[in-house]
Amino acid sequence: MVLALPLSLPLASPAHAVTGSAAAALTPQDSDNALDVHAVRRELDSFQAAQISLRKAMAIAEALHSGAITADVSFDGATEPAIYRVKTMQRDRIWQHSIDASTGEVIGGEAPSSLASLGAEDRDNLAVLRALRHRLADAVRVAERTTSGKAISGGLMRERGKLNFVIVVLAGSDLKEVILEPPGARRR
């Protein structure tokens, strides 16, 4: 099935979506690896209070370097101020930026890393991302629209030779994972 975006950019429909109550999904399974449910709740509350959306943070980071595209983005509410961590790719460089979730201000300046410093699989994934017509921002838009939620993170995942966009969305009190396979993303 193909979904039509407002800009008429088709993206594959979610390969699958995992939904569940945030509290239930984040309940500790054992005491050794227990998550602090209260810390997670604070993180989600901080995210809901953010004035800047994940898509806006991506746009801010991409605008810092002409031709940059986002490869990974996540919200970090444990910092003060809460920030989005955005990794962008431009030519043969990877940039990591922190974007203030309240103001959209870029916090600190980070030196770029070379693509050559990455492992072969990561370099291959980024080469495929660069060649795709669709971007992570397109996948975020589809995931938010499909779930009627607000994206909290997004990135790439390769599974069985397919490169997928993985978007985590907060819809009400539910965290939903949406996996989208963009056309042309199969390993050749």
Residue 104 and residue 54 in contact, taking contact as beta carbons nearer than 8 Å: no
Checking phi first, is residue 181 left (phi over 0); if not, alpha (psi -120 to 50) or beta? Answer: beta
Given this model, what pLDDT does residue 7 score? Answer: 26
Q: How confident is the model at residue 186 (pLDDT cuts 50, 70, 90)?
A: low
pLDDT digit string, tens, across residues 43-55? 999 999 999 999 9
Range from 23-27, 48-52, 109-113, 180-184 carrying the lowest mean pLDDT: 23-27
Work out the mean pLDDT of the chain and round it to a whole number: 81
- pTM, two decimal places: 0.78
